[in-house]
Each structure stands twice: as structure tokens, then as C-alpha cells.
A and B are shown apart, each in its own frame.
Chain A
Amino acid sequence: MTFRTWLAIIAGMLPASLAAIVLFLALYCWPALEINGWGFVVRDTWNIGNAYADPVTIAGTQVQPGAEYGTLFLIVGTLLSTLIALLLAVPVGAGAAIFLAEAVRGRLRLWVSFFVELLAAIPSVVFGLWGYVVVIPFLAHHVFPLMSDLLGFIPFFDGPTGSGYGLLTAGIVLSMMIVPLITATFRDALVSQPPALREAATALGATRFETSIHVIVHGSVRVLIGASFLALGRAMGETMAVLMVSGNGLNYLPQNIYAPISTMAAFIASQLDSALQDPSGMAVRSLAEIALVLCLLSIAVNAGARLMLLFWARAGGAAQPI
């Protein structure tokens, strides 16, 4: 075999891994998929049943009596925490990128960018530790009661503020984890805009900020959208930090923004031990079903975002205003 064939085979390991992940998860969870049906995504009760009773046979598969595998509360928790994270991270990330690209120069820009983007290197579990030790007490004692008083007239913001573990805390910590991705990508796009655009706007009498917003930022909005989708994908799959600050709410939908929740990723991490108690094995297979759904969702979001960025880049580059 030639050198090139060898390399092509090695490179094939990448698609092979991706295919193997989807294939083996699908094969493993197939019995659960058949039993759970659509109830998996529309019911909001997860119960592994009576682990000490004899399994009953439903449709040729053994299940513990009373077992029910509904994950609506996980889907809602994942969507809401991701949404909050994006709502917080996109404006802050975009603002920081604009300031970095337009107002900071030379070596200072390099070092400040590097420092801010180091946030992306901090491990998820360290974010979780910081959230657990510092952020939760701070939010629970100072911020949430105040928010409930001031913003209580908005439906989702009033009511008991709880212990600090919950939807909003998870959203805040998630937003900090995805913000460097948005800042880095958007800053690169802003810096790479042709200088002629800036000169033209200045010649027309625009101030520096007007030039930045109306010309430079306007021309890079597509990159911001693409980066936000990538960030969405990352927030969906974040596990450890969410596990440590979300309160791991089980089997109910959040009644307000402070309520404990769980996400698909955090639930997989927290439930395997208890799922292993199920002698029929259906609980472990249903967890694999969650993993499969999460995997396919992430692939869809990521592939969509990448295709979007690729397509726009080919259709004339980020320099084209929308």
C-alpha cells in the first residue's frame, strides 16, 4: 500500500468513530426505543420501577413493574438552560469582541484576547466547583431574592427563590463557559474585515463607533449567528458544571426560573449508578436512548452551524453585508 492509502485509512478513523458512536448507542438502546415509543419525549416521569420485584414481560422484553422512562423534564431543562445561556452569552461575547477588535490594539489586544479566551480552557468541573462554592451562595442570598422582589411581576421570575441550585444558575454558569467561543470567533471575523470599508465609512463622516457598528459589525453578523449556534451545541452537551449547580431536579417541569432542573447530559452522568440497580437492564438502555438523542441533536446543531458558516464563506465571505 502506498503512503497515501495508509493516511487515507488513518483519516477514516474520524468518520468511523462518529459512525460507531451513533451505531452502538442505537443498537444498545433499541429494546428501550421499542418499549418507550413516543412516551420517551412526551412524558415527564423517570422511574426505574420496583427493582426487587420480578420483571414483567411487555412486547417480548423484560421490564420492572412500575418502570416508566419519560424525559420531557430533561428536554425542557436542556432547552431552557441553553436558551438562558445564549441570551446572556451572545450580547456579552459580541460586545467584548467589538471592544477587543475596534478599541484595543497591538500586543495589548493579543494578550487580553488570550487571557479572556483562556476561559475556554478552564475545565467544566472547575467551573462547577466555582459555581458550587462561590456563585450559588452569592446568588441565593443576594441576587435571587432581589430579582424576585423587583422582577416578580414577570410570570417566570416570582415565587420561591430556592437554594440557589437551579435553572438560572445553570444558565449563568453555562453562559460563562460558552462566551469565549463567541468572543474568539466574532473577534476574528471583525479583525479580518477589509480596511477599505472602514476608510470609506470614516470618509463619509461616521464616528469610530458608528463605523464599527454599521459597517464592520454589520458585515460580520453571519459569523456571530454561526458562532452562536456552535455555542448552543456546546451548552447542550455540557455535563459536569450543570451537574454541580442545577439542583438535579427530577420528574417535574420548572415552575419558575430559580427552580431545580436537570439536563440530558447531567442526567446521564448522575443516573447510571441507580440505573444499574435495575435487574432488567432497561434503565441503562433508556439512558443510552437519552445519549443517542443528545448525540443526534448535537450533530444536527453542529453540522448546521458549520454548513452555515461554510456556505456563507463561499457565497462571498463575511465581508458581504446581509
Chain B
Amino acid sequence: MRLSRRLFSIGGWLVTGFALAMLVLLMIWILAVVLVRGVGALSPELLTTVTQGNGGGLLNAIEGTGVLAVGTLMLAVPLGVGAGIYVSEWHFHRWAHAIRFLADVLVGVPSIVMGYFGYVTMVEGLGWSFSAAAGAIVLSIICLPYICRTTEFALRQVPTDLREAAYAMGAGDGRVILRVCVPVALPGILTGILLALAISVGETAPLLYTAGWSSYLWDGHLTHSPIAYLTYAIFTFINEPFASANALAYAAAFLVTALILVINILSRLIFDRARE
């Protein structure tokens, strides 16, 4: 073999291998920064007290993120799974094609645009001011297409024989789908819901002008009352010139990143187990 060909091959593997190594190292770098600084900043008081000025704790933000995530899932899961069922089970219809395509396009709409839409319509238009409801509704619109597409994907893996058998026994559409197909596809649907959970924990831009920020615990009002969330703490407190404020940002970054990693690993395990 000519030397030039051999060199081309060796060089090619080196270059592509280097690209992969860079990505792996980058991931380790980011995780290391968040982990080391985050663990250094964590303390029991931080998890049990609320924010005060440039210090205090993150309890209000932890609670707020939880409230927003639960609200988002309550809205997005039924609608997203319903839409996914329709797109999968009636995939031969034009309407289903259009919805699948538009769901993909909706994924591409920037989250800050969603947030501004929420500001214009709910915060200003309906006069809700910064509130948990406005934040959760915007987040659920962002999550909707993801849940729809993963549900569709999971249902498409269900063998047609199963459906035919169920229909042959005299079951109607609803029974076939809800009692036969959905249980089989449940692991896949669950990964979509976990993805939505990760999004609602990790997003910042859509919440800036819908949820606002509050240094107090949530007062239980859905509207007219701003609510804290962890990602806001990262963004704001890292810019403050106080060590106590920076510690809040690092701790919040650690909590958010750790939670998202756990969610991702969990969803991967569910996915793998379902395939075996």
C-alpha cells in the first residue's frame, strides 16, 4: 500500500479520535467545575433557609422549582401523551402528519420567545403578573412537543398484532389504546415525561418574565404572586461581588445539574431495560 494512503488513514483516525476526546474532556471539565464548586458551597442551612439579600439559603428556589415542575407535568403530560397517541395511532392521516411536523417546528421556537409570549399574553394581557401559573403554562408548551414525539415513538414500537388481537376481541379504540398499547409502551412514554421534567428544572429564559423571583416561600397562589426557581439563582447570584451570593449560585448549579444527570441516567436505564 502506498505510504500516502497509510498516512491518510492514520491521520484520519487521529483527527476524529481527537474530536471525540475533546468532547469527552469538555464534559468532564464542566461536570468537575460544577461538582467541585457546588459541593464546596453546599451546607445544611443552604437547603433549609430562604434567600436573604446576598446570602441565606435556597429553600424558596428549591420549592419553587418543584412547584413549577409539578405544574408543568400536570399540564403537559396528559396533553402531550394524548397528542402522541393520536399521531401514532392515526399516523396515516394528514392531520397527524401536519401535527408531527409542527411539533418538530415548535421544538425550534427559542425558549426566550416562549417566555416573552407568556409575558405578553398572561403576565400583561390577563393581568396575572409574575406567577407560578404563567411560568408553568409556558414551560408546558415547551415540553409538549417532546412528550408528544417520544410517546409516538414508543407506541409505534408496539406490534400491530397486539392491536389486531384486541380489536378482534371486540374492544373499541379507547380500550385497545389505553389498556393494551399504552401499558406496553409505558417505558418509552416515561422517558418522554422524564425529559419534560429535566426541561422544566433546567430552563431559565422562559421563566425570567413569567415566574419572576421571590425571596419567600410560595404562598400557594397560582397568579399574582411571583415564585423563585433554582436556575434564576445561578444566573443572578454569580454576578454579585459577594462570596455568599456566589455560593448560592454554585450550590444551585450543582443541584440543577445533579438532578438533570440523575433524570437522564434513569431514563436511559428505563429505555435499555425496555429494549431487552
A residues with CB within 8 A of B: 2-4, 6-8, 10-15, 17-18, 20-21, 24-25, 28, 91-96, 98-100, 102-104, 112, 114-116, 118-119, 121-130, 132-134, 176, 179-180, 183, 207-210, 212-213, 230, 233-234, 236-240, 243-244, 265, 268-269, 272, 287-288, 291, 294-295, 298-299, 301-303, 306, 310
Contact of B27 among A91, A116, A265, A272 (CB under 8 A): A116
A17→B144 CA distance, assembly (Å)? 10
Asked if A119 meets B23 with Cβ closer than 8 Å, knowing A126-B256, A207-B9, the reply is yes
Contacts A14-B99, A236-B110, A298-B113 given: A124-B26 contact, CB under 8 Å?
Answer: no
Contacting pair A126 B34 (CB below 8 A) = yes
Q: Is A11 a contact partner of B112 (Cβ separation < 8 A)?
A: no
| Assembled-state Cα–Cα distance A98/B11 (Å) | 13
Check B261–A118 contact: CB distance below 8 A: yes
Q: B177 — which chain A residues lie within 8 A by C-beta?
A: 3
List the A side residues contacting B85 at CB < 8 Å: 7
- Picked from B8, B90, B119, the residue with its CB within 8 Å of the CB of A209 is B8
Chain A residues contacting B19 (CB-CB under 8 Å) are 91-96, 99
The interface stretch among B44-52, B56-64, B202-210 is B202-210
> Does the CB pair A207–B99 fall under 8 Å?
no
30 chain-A/chain-B pairs, Cβ below 8 angstroms:
A2-B173, A3-B177, A4-B86, A8-B90, A10-B86, A11-B83, A11-B87, A12-B99, A14-B148, A15-B99, A24-B120, A95-B16, A103-B16, A112-B20, A115-B24, A121-B198, A123-B257, A125-B234, A129-B234, A129-B249, A180-B23, A237-B109, A239-B112, A265-B112, A268-B116, A272-B208, A298-B113, A301-B108, A302-B108, A310-B101
Given A13-B79, A179-B23, A303-B105, the answer on whether A125 and B112 have CB atoms closer than 8 Å is no
- Kindly supply a per-residue 1/0 record for chain B positions 233-253, scoring 1 wherever the CB is within 8 Å of any chain A CB and 0 otherwise: 011001000000000011001
User: How many chain B residues touch A (Cβ–Cβ < 8 Å)?
Assistant: 87
Shortest CB–CB separation between residue A315 and chain B, in angstroms?
17
CA gap between A7 and B36 in the complex, in Å: 47
A139–B37 alpha-carbon span in the complex (Å): 20
Q: CB distance A210 to B109 under 8 Å?
A: no
A134 touching B103 by the CB < 8 A rule?
no
Interface flags, B109-141, vs A, CB<8A=1, else 0: 111111111011100010000000000000001
